[in-house]
């Protein structure tokens, strides 16, 4: 059994992790693998929350968000 936490806070999520499959032009295999690893970590963090998940997102450079 995995530990659960009442709340999980994920304050520095980059917007590219919210859209799987979207990669930059000319991305290397290592950049794609890093994104996949970060998405797995995100999934683990979210699934450990028992009552509440808080996600903060930072916009990519040049984004108007």
pTM over 0.85: no
* Residue pLDDT, tens place only, 6-64: 999 988 888 777 776 666 677 788 888 888 898 898 899 999 999 999 988 877 666 55
How confident is residue 2, by pLDDT bands cut at 50, 70 and 90? confident
Q: In the prediction, which pLDDT does 24 show? A: 66
Length of the chain: 65
For 1, 24, 35, 52, 62, the CA distances from 21, given in Å and listed in that order, are 30, 10, 10, 27, 20
Q: In the prediction, which pLDDT does 63 show? A: 57
């Amino acid at each position: 059994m995995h530990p659960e936490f009442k709340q999980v806070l994920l304050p520095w999520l980059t917007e590219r992790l919210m859209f799987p499959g979207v990669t930059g032009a000319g991305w290397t295999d290592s950049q794609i693998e890093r994104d996949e690893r970060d998405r797995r970590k995100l999934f683990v963090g979210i699934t450990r929350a028992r009552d509440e998940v808080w996600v903060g997102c930072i916009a990519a450079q040049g984004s108007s968000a």
